[in-house]
Amino acid sequence: MDLWIGFDLNFDFDLNFDFLIMKYIVCDEPGTFSLLEREMPVRKAGEALLRMTRVGICGTDLHAFQGNQPFFSYPRILGHELAAEIVEIDANDKGLAVGDKVIIMPYLSCGACIACRAGKTNCCTAIEVLGVHTDGGMQEYYALPVEVLIGAGSLSDEEIAIVEPLAIGAHAVRRAAIRESESVLVVGCGPIGLGIIKQVQLAGGRVIVMDVNEERLEFVKEVMGVEHVLSALGQPEEQLVKLNQGELPTIVIDATGNKGALEKGVQYMAHGGKYVLVGLYKGDLTFNHPFIHSHEATIMSSRNATMEDMLRVKDILEAGSFPTEAYVTHQVSFEEMVDHFESWIKPETGVIKAMVSF
């Protein structure tokens, strides 16, 4: 049985049907957005019709706009950090109903491939990431499978929209298998890096943070409570050893996506350590084999997140353990997004997490 909200079916047929038209923003090609209109989506069986409330802007969106995002084609509606409200839904085993606020898992997996069978839906062989492989949430209404929706409970719209980027960090930290009091260097304190930092802290790791941006380093000290930070400029290895009781950290996590940083990060890792690559670079990376062999280095990538990671982050936000208000630094309306987007690429604007509201 279909459940409806917001539409009066006892209408006069002479009324204007403007409510069936919605606005959406498409990235036509690198450097170009268009604000357009089209008919609202019609949901299929097993789907819910959603009204978007927030869309977070992440590095994937910025790179797509700049034309250096892998796994991407144009034109594309961006947006995978999403908060929404259910407008229409069938009865379902999740207990979701019209009017519920929902978190959206933006990774559509096949459920049948070798990765999915192993529970690694985040790297499904046929994965479709909303806003990357298929159109995303930068539209007023959206129809999505009920299976990718999570009831948001008491979370605010802003908290709902940051579940996904924080889940990236949750997945990376789970991959790293951090032991209590283990030394962990996080390289890069952008939006993803900040999520990683918090989850390293919650996992009991001793976190050190490295970046080239002094303002970001000050942020992680003052807001995130990180004691040890250092600049990546120059030769930071000596200072890193001093901060870590005379040794290099046993885990290094890169959240930069910068080729130079990704290639150099392995040098900050202790013998027998792990190097976790969360940042994504569009191209080849080179590591010196004798160096990584002598260290018996474990080099692993961390891609996307799973439902387990999303639920973990929901619990963290419900507990008030993440500084959402300080994290979301810029917020504009849907209609204003096109005019502001390019400025969010510039670190001097002080942006950490920009968000679009509907």
Q: What is the pLDDT of residue 70?
A: 79
pLDDT for residue 234 is more than 90: no
Q: Where are the beta strands (DSSP E) in 238-304?
A: 251-254, 274-277, 298-301
Question: Are 71 and 175 within one domain?
Answer: no
What confidence category does residue 69 fall into, taking pLDDT thresholds of 50, 70 and 90? confident
pLDDT for residue 175 is more than 70: yes
Question: Are 11 and 149 within one domain?
Answer: yes
What confidence category does residue 347 fall into, taking pLDDT thresholds of 50, 70 and 90? confident
Question: Are 137 and 258 within one domain?
Answer: no
CATH number at residue 35: 3.90.180.10
Q: Tell me the per-residue pLDDT of 10-46, one tens digit each, with 9 for 90 and over.
A: 434 343 444 689 999 999 999 999 999 999 999 999 9
Q: Measuring CA to CA, which residue among 356, 345, 352 is closest to residue 327?
A: 352
Question: Are 65 and 102 within one domain?
Answer: yes
Number of domains in the chain: 2
Question: Are 242 and 128 within one domain?
Answer: no
CATH number at residue 225: 3.40.50.720
Q: Is residue 277 included in any domain, yes or no?
A: yes
Q: What is the pLDDT of residue 19?
A: 60
DSSP 162: T
Q: Is residue 310 included in any domain, yes or no?
A: no
Q: Is residue 317 included in any domain, yes or no?
A: no
Element (H, E) at 178: none
Q: What is the pLDDT of residue 240?
A: 97
Q: Is residue 257 included in any domain, yes or no?
A: yes
Q: Is residue 313 included in any domain, yes or no?
A: no
What confidence category does residue 5 fall into, taking pLDDT thresholds of 50, 70 and 90? very low
pLDDT for residue 350 is more than 60: yes
Question: Are 214 and 255 within one domain?
Answer: yes
Q: Tell me the per-residue pLDDT of 110-132, one tens digit each, with 9 for 90 and over.
A: 999 999 999 999 999 999 999 99
Calculate mean pLDDT across residues 39-54. Answer: 97
Q: Tell me the per-residue pLDDT of 102-113, one tens digit each, with 9 for 90 and over.
A: 999 999 999 999
Instruction: Give the span between the Cα atoms of 220 and 255, in whole angstroms.
Output: 14
What confidence category does residue 202 fall into, taking pLDDT thresholds of 50, 70 and 90? very high
Instruction: Give the span between the Cα atoms of 83 and 144, in whole angstroms.
Output: 13
Rounded percentage of the chain residues whose pLDDT exceeds 70? 95
Instruction: Give the span between the Cα atoms of 155 and 126, in whole angstroms.
Output: 31
> Terminal CA-to-CA distance of the chain, rounded, Å?
29
Question: Are 157 and 173 within one domain?
Answer: no
Residue listed under structure tokens 């802003």: 158
Question: Are 279 and 327 within one domain?
Answer: no
Q: Is residue 307 included in any domain, yes or no?
A: no
The answer to whether 265 and 249 have CB atoms below 8 angstroms apart is no
β-pairing, 141-145 vs 81-90, is: unpaired
Q: Which domain holds residue 291?
A: 169-301
Question: Are 214 and 291 within one domain?
Answer: yes
Q: Is residue 315 included in any domain, yes or no?
A: no
The answer to whether 82 and 54 have CB atoms below 8 angstroms apart is yes
Average of per-residue pLDDT values in the chain: 93
Residue type, 206: R
pLDDT for residue 6 is more than 80: no
pLDDT for residue 255 is more than 80: yes
Question: Are 327 and 187 within one domain?
Answer: no
Q: Is residue 104 included in any domain, yes or no?
A: yes
Sign (positive or negative) of CA dihedral 155, 157, 159, 165: positive
Q: What share of the chain is helix, strand, coil (3-state, %, to 5)?
A: 30, 25, 40
Calculate mean pLDDT across residues 335-356. Answer: 93
Among 5-19, 91-105, 140-154, the least confident range: 5-19
Calculate mean pLDDT across residues 265-292. Answer: 96
Calculate mean pLDDT across residues 141-145. Answer: 98
Q: Cα-atom radius of gyration of the chain, to the nearest Å?
A: 21
Q: What is the pLDDT of residue 71?
A: 78
Question: Are 201 and 289 within one domain?
Answer: yes
Q: Measuring CA to CA, which residue among 206, 171, 105 is closest to residue 303?
A: 171
How far CA 113 is from CA of 110, 118, 306, 341, in Å, comes to 7, 9, 15, 37
Instruction: Give the span between the Cα atoms of 230 and 220, in whole angstroms.
Output: 11
Question: Are 227 and 295 within one domain?
Answer: yes
Q: What is the pLDDT of residue 26?
A: 97
Instruction: Give the span between the Cα atoms of 74 and 133, in whole angstroms.
Output: 10
What confidence category does residue 97 fall into, taking pLDDT thresholds of 50, 70 and 90? very high
